[in-house]
Structure 1
Amino acid sequence: MADRVAKLASQRAVVIFGVSNCCMCHVVKTLFTEMGVSWMAHELDKDPHGKDVERALAGIVGRSPPVPAVFIGGRLVGTTDQVMTLHLGGQLVPLLRQAGALWL
């Protein structure tokens, strides 16, 4: 299942694994949208293999529940905490540019 996660995570420059009713997932999606980033979401509660993906993500992220799990350029950035820390520290924009997710 970790192979499936890696494959899904590399489909776009920014991939967010979440669940449809997660407020922290919404926060991350809103941040990227307001930054002009095109992102892809995998809603685990709508995926027939969502529970398996969630277990694999928990092992990768190191916590349960593992959502939102944000991947940039196919690499795990982390959950909301890590994304916001990068953003506030001025490191998120360069990371997004490097991945080709942000042009400005």
Structure 2
Amino acid sequence: MDRVTSLASQKAVVIFSKSSCCMCHAIKWLLYDRGVSPAVYELDELDTWGREMEWTLVRLGCSPSVPAVFIGGKLVGSASSVMTLQLNGSLKRMLIEAEAIWL
């Protein structure tokens, strides 16, 4: 748990992902398109800690476990949560507040 929370707080936006996940890819590009430069951790490419971090994300309530998006050190959720925020206009405000983007 400590590893995930530590990594999640090291940058304004952090994505825990898997390289073969199409929804992870879509969320990464949504954020890139908005000018965000997130820290991305591909769990399937992390030999030692990837599986443990995936289980931690599940215990934190991520279902499915990836993509798991943290903004300002706080868990936002999975792809559906991020897309909901995008559609209702809240995502931009959250990114500005976390200083991931500027006006």
Q: Corresponding residue for 2:91?
A: 92
Q: Aligned-pair distance for 1:61?
A: 2.3
Q: Which residue of structure 2 lines up, in the alignment, with residue 8 of structure 1?
A: 7
**Equivalent position amino acid for 2:85 in 1:** L
5+ residue gaps in structure 2? none
2:51 corresponds in structure 1 to 51
Q: Could you give the per-residue CA deviations for residues 48-96 of structure 1, whole angstroms, max 9, x where no partner exists?
A: 2100110010010242x41000000000000000000001000000000
Q: Helix, strand or coil: the match of 1:28?
A: helix
Report the Cα distance in structure 2 between the residues aligned to 1:79 and 1:93, rounded to whole angstroms. 17
Number of aligned positions between the proteins: 102
Give runs of aligned pairs for residues 34-49 of structure 1, distance below 5 A.
34-47=33-46, 48-49=48-49
| TM-score where L is the length of structure 1 | 0.95
The aligned amino acid for 2:2 is D
- What CA distance in whole angstroms lies between the structure 2 residues aligned with 1:62 and 1:45? 16
**Runs of 4+ in structure 1 over 3 Å off:** none
| Contact 1:61-1:69 within 8 A present in 2 as well | no
SS at match of 2:89: coil
Amino acid at match of 2:88: G
What is the TM-score of this pair, normalised by structure 2? 0.95
- Equivalent residues of 1:6, 1:74 under 8 A apart: yes
Looking at structure 2, the residues matched to 99 and 85 of structure 1 have their Cα atoms a distance apart, in angstroms, of: 18
How much has 1:19 moved relative to structure 2?
Answer: 0.6
Aligned-pair identity in percent equals: 52
